Structure 1
Amino acid sequence: MMTTTSSFKHEKVKLQAQKIAKSYGQTQVLADLDLDVHSGELLTLLGPSGSGKTTLLQIVCGLVEPTSGCLMIDGKDETWTPVHQRDIGVVFQNYALFPHLTVEENIAFPLRMRHLPSAEINQKVKQVLEMVELGHVATRLPRALSGGQQQRIALARCLVYQPSVILMDEPLGALDRQLRETMQMEIKRIHRESGATIIFVTHDQEEALALSDRICLMNEGKIAQIGTPQEIYERPQTTFVAEFIGLSNILDGQIRGDGLHTRHGVFPLNSGLRDGDNAALVIRPEHMRIAEQGSGVLEGLVSESVYAGSETRVVVTLAGGEKFIVRSSAQTPVRIGDRVSLNWDVQNSRLLAV
């Protein structure tokens, strides 16, 4: 497993997955996975389809049994604890609200199942409705609410009984883009105010970067890298991480005495790698600059230019057919068909072993 030292720390580990593996016949879905989730953090499981993130979530929830390994919650072995006996809350993508109950009745439901006194139930429901800023819809039925409101009520129903861990399985997947972005900010606020420990599953890289205290990026049943959004984006440890999180321009080559040798020339670098090692130079689009032809490091042809409001994205096709993306905050004065050069600062690139 690949690890990274994260600046995000909590005093207590809430949940530990120790050598968790899951196989279906000859197909291995999770491979000896180790993961610590800290108390009070929002950790996102991110990865492509088939990476194992949903299976891991189901094992934490108790819906799936691991083939091997151990799951600890608050220092207690919960590997084989039945679903209904685990102190875990789940927020689903489809909200799963009771259509015949009002908002306050929906939120009160888990408290009534725990046989709390009515006065305490009413107080807790009122408090959590204030937290999600939906006290004014307490007496409405779910069908009278917008998608974003229903999602906040689903979260409130989970928060009200203060489970040890809250699992959120792509909860914003059914919302449109603008509402998703609004709900991301709401979830961050609610998480900050509640102090809940949340494991959030998504395949949306931008959502993971916006929401997370830490991101656990998975691939083929393993953890590719764990770290804060800034660490994952700015210091990827593999080309998979660099390509999956955001956009990356990558130059493949081989390390020789004087630097990285590529089909586009030699790039002098203090690599720390051995002679003969295959390597890749990664440059994010926002760190690249367009210059006049003949005055840069790489030469290419402008094949596309997209104005996106706050930025302009220019695609430059190199002689070998590789497409490099340049992201600029100002409108770049180039036209499709222009021959240009590309530059970047060495400190803004990252060399990775392949």
Structure 2
Amino acid sequence: MPIQSQFSPQAGISPKLSVRGIRKDYGATTVLQAIDLDVRSGELLTLLGPSGSGKTTLLQIICGLVEPTSGSLFIDGRDETSLPVNQRDIGVVFQNYALFPHLTVKENIAFPLQMRRLPVAEIDKRVAEVLDMVNLGHTADRLPKALSGGQQQRVALARCLVYRPSVILMDEPLGALDRKLRETMQIEIKRIHRETGATIIFVTHDQEEALALSDRICLMNDGVIAQVGTPQEIYEAPANRFSAEFIGLSNIFDGAIADGMLRSADGDIPAVAGMQAGDGLMVRPEHIALTEPAQGFMSGTVTETVYAGADTRLLVALESGKSIIVRQAAGIPIAPIGSSVGLNWQPSAIRIVR
């Protein structure tokens, strides 16, 4: 039974949380550079980026663990920049679960409600609701040590959901799980988010995880926001070279623009309207088709193949020494290592990167 609360998905797309000009300096080092960001009510927004991009610092500022050098933070239109941690209506799910080992699952989940001095009947009702939501009703009387990693993570999420905060922050919560369990938990988090309509800010450095979970992704690099958009927008239409290279696998070609062509070191590629000097062209591996060497935009030699079940990835070395990644779906005959191939694609598959 879904929790009825301010998490309602019908809340619209008005900003639940707004970051305005948030900057953070540590001495002479700037880790966040006056960024602006709106998080909509009911969405799951992922902060994604490499180590040192500023995503964890931004999360810590939002929950009040770190004070910004400048800028403001608004939740539901209220300026909460200077509020201490315990006065912000924010819940946090940590990577290490942070469960009390001596308390049962039910007692762990009830703890934040007891701290808020809710009536016992209301506590029991809410705990039962969230246990049902995370499919852990049968574990209510167990201690955390008797649970699997995935179950412990669901208990940590339930403990956060039970007191219905305005915003839930999840700091790489799946980082300690193995790949199969991570994928299972991703599905669980998507289901719980859909049922509650909670506003969630999820931090990860795993691009596949971000693509799988997010309503929108905020891609960060060197303390700035590189791009904000849906997973499809960022993957299919990267706003810059960093986005193109960080999200998914990409092949980028550079060269001089002349006579409607990008003249690269390995061949001429039809230019795209709006290209400027210094721009490159990107094509994703799954959009490249192998042909006879003379029939492609360029040709090369297959140097490696990697079977991945649903597809096979081929590495093709061009004459310049540049390596191109090609992804072929299962069932397509694979060119053997050492064979000469041409590379071809549809004009619609090309994207400008700058």
Q: Please state whether the residue corresponding to 1:124 is helix, strand or coil.
A: helix
Q: Please state whether the residue corresponding to 2:67 is helix, strand or coil.
A: coil
1: CA distance between counterparts of 2:206 and 2:275? Answer: 33
Does the CA-based 8 Å contact 1:15-1:36 persist in structure 2?
A: yes
- Deviating more after overlay: 308-317 vs 199-208: 308-317
Partner of 2:106: 104
Q: Please state whether the residue corresponding to 2:254 is helix, strand or coil.
A: strand
2: CA distance between counterparts of 1:71 and 1:215? Answer: 19
Does the CA-based 8 Å contact 2:272-2:352 persist in structure 1?
A: no
Letter in 1 for 2:237: R
Does the CA-based 8 Å contact 2:253-2:281 persist in structure 1?
A: yes
Cα offsets for 1:8-40 (capped at 9, x unmatched): x94321000000000011100000100000010
Letter in 2 for 1:144: A
Partner of 1:130: 132
Partner of 2:291: 291
Gap regions ≥5 residues in structure 1: 1-8
Partner of 1:34: 36
Using the TM superposition, give the Cα deviation of residue 254 of structure 1 relative to its aligned residue in structure 2, in angstroms.
2.5
1: CA distance between counterparts of 2:246 and 2:147? Answer: 35
Partner of 1:44: 46
2: CA distance between counterparts of 1:278 and 1:249? Answer: 16
2: CA distance between counterparts of 1:12 and 1:98? Answer: 36
Cα offsets for 1:108-149 (capped at 9, x unmatched): 000000000000000000000000011000000000000000
Quick one: which of 225, 228, 241 aligns to 2:227?
225
Q: Please state whether the residue corresponding to 1:303 is helix, strand or coil.
A: strand
Using the TM superposition, give the Cα deviation of residue 294 of structure 1 relative to its aligned residue in structure 2, in angstroms.
1.4
Partner of 1:322: 322
2: CA distance between counterparts of 1:204 and 1:115? Answer: 39
Cα offsets for 1:33-79 (capped at 9, x unmatched): 00000010000000000000000000001000000000000000000
Using the TM superposition, give the Cα deviation of residue 334 of structure 1 relative to its aligned residue in structure 2, in angstroms.
1.0
1: CA distance between counterparts of 2:69 and 2:334? Answer: 58
Using the TM superposition, give the Cα deviation of residue 83 of structure 1 relative to its aligned residue in structure 2, in angstroms.
0.5
Count how many residue pairs are aligned between Structure 1 and Structure 2.
343
2: CA distance between counterparts of 1:251 and 1:186? Answer: 39
Partner of 1:269: 271
2: CA distance between counterparts of 1:270 and 1:126? Answer: 57
Partner of 2:183: 181
Using the TM superposition, give the Cα deviation of residue 265 of structure 1 relative to its aligned residue in structure 2, in angstroms.
2.7
Using the TM superposition, give the Cα deviation of residue 259 of structure 1 relative to its aligned residue in structure 2, in angstroms.
2.3
Cα offsets for 1:288-329 (capped at 9, x unmatched): 011122121111000001111111111101011111111111
Using the TM superposition, give the Cα deviation of residue 349 of structure 1 relative to its aligned residue in structure 2, in angstroms.
1.0
Quick one: which of 211, 214, 224 aligns to 2:213?
211
Partner of 1:338: 339
Letter in 1 for 2:255: G
Quick one: which of 256, 261, 281 aligns to 1:254?
256
Does the CA-based 8 Å contact 1:188-1:211 persist in structure 2?
A: yes
Using the TM superposition, give the Cα deviation of residue 286 of structure 1 relative to its aligned residue in structure 2, in angstroms.
0.3
What is the correspondence of 1:160-175 to structure 2 with a 5 Å cutoff?
A: 160-175=162-177
Partner of 2:147: 145
Tell me whether 1:304 sits opposite 2:304 in the alignment.
Answer: yes
Q: Please state whether the residue corresponding to 1:136 is helix, strand or coil.
A: helix
Letter in 2 for 1:301: T
Letter in 2 for 1:47: G
Tell me whether 1:351 sits opposite 2:348 in the alignment.
Answer: no
Q: Identify if the C-alpha distance between structure 1 residues 292 and 259 changes in structure 2 by more than 3 Å, giving closer, same or farther.
A: closer
2: CA distance between counterparts of 1:49 and 1:10? Answer: 33
1: CA distance between counterparts of 2:21 and 2:153? Answer: 34
Letter in 2 for 1:295: Q
What is the aligned-residue RMSD (CA, Å)?
A: 1.1
Using the TM superposition, give the Cα deviation of residue 261 of structure 1 relative to its aligned residue in structure 2, in angstroms.
2.0
Letter in 2 for 1:169: D
Q: Please state whether the residue corresponding to 1:94 is helix, strand or coil.
A: coil
Does the CA-based 8 Å contact 1:72-1:79 persist in structure 2?
A: yes
Output the TM-score relative to the length of structure 2.
0.95
Using the TM superposition, give the Cα deviation of residue 335 of structure 1 relative to its aligned residue in structure 2, in angstroms.
0.7
Gap regions ≥5 residues in structure 2: 1-10
Using the TM superposition, give the Cα deviation of residue 333 of structure 1 relative to its aligned residue in structure 2, in angstroms.
2.9
Tell me whether 1:279 sits opposite 2:274 in the alignment.
Answer: no
Does the CA-based 8 Å contact 2:244-2:353 persist in structure 1?
A: no
1: CA distance between counterparts of 2:72 and 2:82? Answer: 9
2: CA distance between counterparts of 1:62 and 1:142? Answer: 28
Letter in 1 for 2:245: E
Identity within the alignment, % = 66
2: CA distance between counterparts of 1:240 and 1:333? Answer: 31
- Deviating more after overlay: 118-127 vs 252-261: 252-261
Tell me whether 1:72 sits opposite 2:69 in the alignment.
Answer: no
Partner of 1:4: none
